[in-house]
Amino acid sequence: DIQMTQSPSSLSASVGDRVTITCQASQDISNYLNWYQQKPGKAPKLLIYDASNLETGVPSRFSGSGSGTDFTFTISSLQPEDIATYYCQQYDNLLTFGPGTKVDIK
């Protein structure tokens, strides 16, 4: 099984700050990684697919990078509506989600 870890587990940042979340896979998954945003009480929403591709309609302040085992998700300028939990998810072997990173406003 492929295990996913994320750090930090939570963070607080100010509006306009650059926010970075890391995700690590327990083995090489190439670029088979997606990022999702989940707001409280809502279903997750796909933001980034194949590690770095922005899903249609997603604001350009969101970005992703990485390959192999180490991945990064960035919000270039945090907005109030970005308060959510962010999950990475691998699909190299079945589907596995990371534990999530909760982002809130300082």
- By CB under 8 A, name the binding residues for another protein: 1, 32, 34, 36, 38, 42-46, 49-50, 53, 55, 87, 89, 91, 94-100
Nearer to another protein, 43 or 60 (CB): 43
Nearer to another protein, 1 or 81 (CB): 1
The CA distances from residue 25 to 10, 15, 46, 59, 106, in Å, are 19, 30, 19, 26, 29
Nearer to another protein, 34 or 78 (CB): 34
Question: What's the angle, vertex CA 69, arms to CA 46 and CA 61, rounded to 5?
Answer: 40
